[in-house]
Structure 1
């Protein structure tokens, strides 16, 4: 029941935004009673945190599997960002949820970016990345990432759109054009969420309920 409510809430948040009061919609769409709902959640914020926490854990697993064996910190940073954006591009519900949530959801997704500060600082110490204050670099990545996700949520983008965005970010971080192309040109592993993951379950539910939007 809890999983069903989280899946449904993710769909409703994606449609209505995180500022809306969505509990009645979740109860209706999930076809449960209000009493059953309140056995698990009390507020919109409870739902939002539950979704963000579960998604972060799933995305961390996929991203860390792709970057864990990379020694070059700039390549690790670029690969992690590409993985994140490709997941959003492939899963429209995820993109719409992240775009609807904006900075509130991004702040709750810190686990998904936990490798970034250490890798950025390592790249700066090696001289590969410009010596810019870490908080500014993270703000740049977060802002550009949100805009990119919003664009992907609203319509189709080129297959290499994530690479182009990440290459531009890496150039602002001090890489040359050639180096930015190198770190965004490496092949990525297949990013396949497990069938029982929230991302896969919610996307399947959204597709079944509103095929034209999923």
Structure 2
């Protein structure tokens, strides 16, 4: 999957990269993009995916945003019943699908109507989501994470100590130039992309 920022984005912020920085940038951009995706649980890049979701009160909340199109909703059969492609569902234009009663589908399995527990609870949804261009604030955060590594004064960790009169301190630090990290402020800025609540994703294809 493409990184959420590019070397050109780094150059736009720092002016130029040395040969060593340019050689290290791709891996660090990949690491930072992965960390942002993991924290937000969002892919950001526009793509079509099929996910298996569990309904809540007849509603399916799509986890990847922004949703730009919904192509198909399939009720997943169980205990020998077949999967059924549904036609009575409605997408609200954002991230929510409302399921119908299934009455618009011919020859539904009788087990679905035998009792309340017979109706499927998991559905396979094919939909398109993501941005054609990564949001500016996400690009900024990824670049900030990478530039902290590239401009770190040292690649290795160590011990820093200093004495001022009768006072002294000792500080052990990791190699800040070897791995990207996300600050508390960056997490706070990314929180708006994190799903607050919704349908459980059980499988992604």
| TM-score (normalised: structure 2) | 0.27
Structure with the larger strand share: 2
| TM-score (normalised: structure 1) | 0.26
